[in-house]
Amino acid sequence: MKAEDQRESRRPVRRVPVDPAALLTLLVGDQPGRLLHVHEVPARRARYAGWPTWADPVLLAALLGQGIERPWSHQVAAAEAAHRGEHVAISTGTASGKSLGYLLPILTDLMAATHAPNGRGATALYLAPTKALAADQLARIDALALPGARAATCDGDTSPDERRWIRDHANLVLTNPDLLHHSLLPGHERWAPFLRALRYVVVDECHVYRGVFGAHLGAVLRRLRRVAARYRAAPIFVFASATVADPQEHAARLLGMPLTAVTADGSPRGAMTVALWEPPVIEGPDGRPHRVSTLTETGCLLAQCAAADVQTVAFARSRTGVEVVARIARDRSGGALEGRIAAYRGGFLPEERRQLESGLRSGELVALAATNALELGVDVSGLDAVLLAGWPGTLASLWQQAGRAGRSGERSLAVLVADDDPLDTYVVHHPEAIFGRGVEAAVVDPDNPYVLGPHLAAAAAELPVTPADEEYFGAGMRPLLDRLVAGRVLRRRPGGWYWARPDRPTEHVSLRGAGEPVRIVEARTGRVVGTVDEAAAHAQVHTGAVHLHQGQTWVVTELDLPEAAAFVVRGDPGWTTQARSVSDFEIAAELEHHDWGALRCSFGRARVHTRVTSFLRRLPSGEVLGEHPLDLPTRTLDTKGVWWTMPVAELEAVGIPELSIPGAAHAAEHAAIGMLPLFATADRWDIGGVSTDRHPDTGLPTILVYDGHPGGAGFAERGYRRALEWLGATRQAIAACECKTGCPSCIQSPKCGNGNEPLDKRLAVVLLDLTLRWARGG
């Protein structure tokens, strides 16, 4: 079971419960302006239920031995639904023990089925988005020491001998979607005995499967259902999720089948104080004011918490950020607490993770800097305080990470430290954006043809595709099959559609992106050190790029596009690089629109053309050392977007001269991109934008915000559906920023291919005022 299960006996009682008000007073010190808002989340009492009558007595005894005397109501509701044979989505808060809800029926059935002739009358598959989570779950199951429960992890690091044993003997396999896609499904004949007995499939942390990643998982699950049916198996699917707006709909879209939802959280939690914090503005070395970086501020706060013996985890959004936060915390502690402050990054060995857990439980570790809790796979529930270095991407993620603080019945503190960008600035100045609304809906489009097409090819290599497979792949299957036949990827025969090439189709599909990934290859040894999405390769690993991968700095010596490889050498030259590009777009088809008086807002298909033309070399001070041309081809992205048009006369009437339209539109576009993640479960890097003072397809000034993935990912559509709220928040974010002409907190973008030129902050507000006035009825 996961760390979130009710096993308080594993962690010693805190010597002195944390007092959030006193801790905030300590953190604020003599700069009260940093603390912008404090919100109190009330405590919640536990709701218990009786153990299911069908639960195995040996399993119940093992749970009792771990200190779990009574289950919470949502755990029993999920277990009963799965035991009845219903697909289930369980969506409750962090530290609410979701895993017990599916392990009760799974382990009960696995133990009962050991009496089958082959000793394996039932099997189960557990899917986690990371290897660390699967390994952590295995440790929890092994700790129960149940007879007949033969659990094992199987991933890319598992040796051939271990895989053979797992295929032949394990009845609970813990893995990730990538292994399912690349190995288990293509080699399903070797897994036939396991698949024939497959009774349960668990999809853990399913809220992370959104956008293109979610579309890929949806296709993999459909392939799994189809292959399982070949062996006369119809497994029960259980989805476990942090709180999202509609977990039932989200899980049903991933699975392609209806589900039962369990959302009433029966677990207790102590009261939580949530603070919104903005780093101060100070005078820089150049004499100009600038805001203290989020990482520096978070590191200082972590050091103060550690010095006060308040056990704290600080979440940063990158591995590099984690190292910076931990280093600053250690430096500020003057070495006195150096051994009690740790940094966690991906790639830790299981024993290293267990050592971290042990240190946290014993109190030896008082402060931990880490990437998001998903990547941890470490028991970090029940700490005293949580610091978040920047908006974590979604409101759901914020509550998930904040929920890592709080022992049973005790108060806790969570502090969101704003980053220097429009969204962070907006939410800390508008608390109602966090506390006054529900969490976002997870966006996923399982019918995206750019995702579904390659998976149909993979399915055909597993088993010939037949017309009956529309049950799994939907009505869009036939046109995609015809396209694959025309491209000589598949061959049509009387028995169905067959894979027609000598290679493996799964080699061309990465679940974590769209298109074929570009390998990052160490030039000296030929070792593959990582990959980047094809879409990002031109800007991130062009020849001459300085590329940061897992905390290590590499310089790209050559980008070989035909071979989909970037060759690199290790080393830090002392500067960073930033790609510059030119973009334009065509409107392929308007699917929907709103007429806003003289203005028009549309949603539809767009074709975006981008070419990386050069790159800048910058010193850490920001000084540009030079610009170097690149000879790269134009990339075309067929996607979906939301755009709005404005007549020149209307813009001139409100004080935007025609020559100033590019700067106003460009600034509004940047801020709109930055604010869209507040309304759709997207990351800023999943979204792109283009603006123009006169577009050939519309004949008018036009601003486009589009999904940065082929076929779209659902983010732009969500923006179209909530355009008034989205653009209203965008306007407020720009207007409320304290800067005079524009900064990263409002209109400057870290990924602008035009070097953030031209930008006009004042006129962007005027443009958005005009847009909102017409959108509200003139």
Q: For residue range 292-347, what is the model confidence (pLDDT) as tens digits? A: 889 999 999 999 999 999 999 999 987 778 888 998 999 898 777 878 998 886 55
Q: What is the mean pLDDT of residues 436-463?
A: 86
- Surface-to-core class of residue 291, CB atoms within 10 Å of its CB (0-12 exposed, 13-18 middle, 19+ buried): buried
**Mean of pLDDT values over 496-511:** 88
Q: What angle do CA 77, 80, 82 make, to 5 degrees?
A: 110
* Sign, CA torsion 326/327/328/329: positive
Residue 349: the pLDDT is: 61
pLDDT score of 253? 94
Query: How does residue 93 score in pLDDT terms, banded at 50, 70 and 90?
Result: confident
Task: Output helix, strand, coil percentages for the chain, rounded to the nearest 5.
Answer: 40, 25, 35
Helix (H) or strand (E) holding 726: helix 723-736
List CB contacts of 87: < 8 A, sequence separation 6 or more: 236, 237, 238, 239, 251, 255, 257, 258, 259, 260
Q: What is the pLDDT of residue 66?
A: 92
pLDDT above 90: percentage of residues in the chain: 59
Q: Which residue has the tokens 């899980």?
A: 251
Helix/strand/coil for 610: strand
Distances in whole angstroms, Cα of residue 633 to Cα of each of 178, 440, 541, 542, 561: 31, 37, 14, 12, 10
CA gap 245, 186 in Å, rounded: 35
- Mean pLDDT computed over 435-464: 87
Element (H, E) at 87: none
Q: How far is CA 344 from CA 73, 352, 506, 552, in A?
A: 34, 10, 32, 15
Asked if 106 and 128 touch (Cβ cutoff 8 Å), the reply is: no
pLDDT(471) > 50? yes
Residue 11 in this model has a pLDDT that exceeds 50: no
Lowest mean pLDDT among 27-41, 197-211, 342-356, 599-613: 342-356
Q: How far apart are CA 705 and CA 248, in angstroms?
A: 29
- Look up the pTM and report it: 0.81
Q: Is residue 354 over pLDDT 90?
A: no
CA distances to 194, 211, 257, 305, 464 from 181, rounded to whole Å, are 16, 18, 20, 44, 17
| Structure-model confidence comparison of residues 506 and 297, the more confident one | 297
pLDDT at 585 over 60: yes
- Residue 212's nearest CA partner among 734, 639, 550 is 639
pLDDT value at residue 13: 40
- For residue 232 the two structure tokens come to 């006369």
User: Is the distance from CB of 23 to CB of 415 less than 8 angstroms?
Assistant: no
Which one-letter amino acid corresponds to residue 561?
L
Residue 494: how many other CB atoms lie within 10 Å:
4
Residue range 366-380, pLDDT digits in tens: 999 988 755 555 656
Cα–Cα distance, 742 to 760 (Å, whole number): 7
User: What are 733's two structure tokens?
Assistant: 């974010």
The rounded distance, in Å, linking the Cα atoms of 330 and 322 is: 12
The tokens describing 176, both together, are 């990730």
| pLDDT at 744 (0 to 100) | 81
pLDDT given for residue 644 in this prediction: 96
Binned at pLDDT 50, 70 and 90, residue 7 comes out as very low
Residue 585 CA to residue 716 CA, distance in Å, equals: 15
Distances (CA, A) of 349 to 133, 548, 603: 12, 22, 47
Most confident stretch, 157-161, 423-427, 475-479, 544-548: 475-479
531: pLDDT strictly greater than 90: no
49: three-class secondary structure by DSSP: coil
Mean pLDDT for the chain?
88
Cβ count within 10 A of residue 628 = 14
**What confidence category does residue 2 fall into, taking pLDDT thresholds of 50, 70 and 90?**
very low
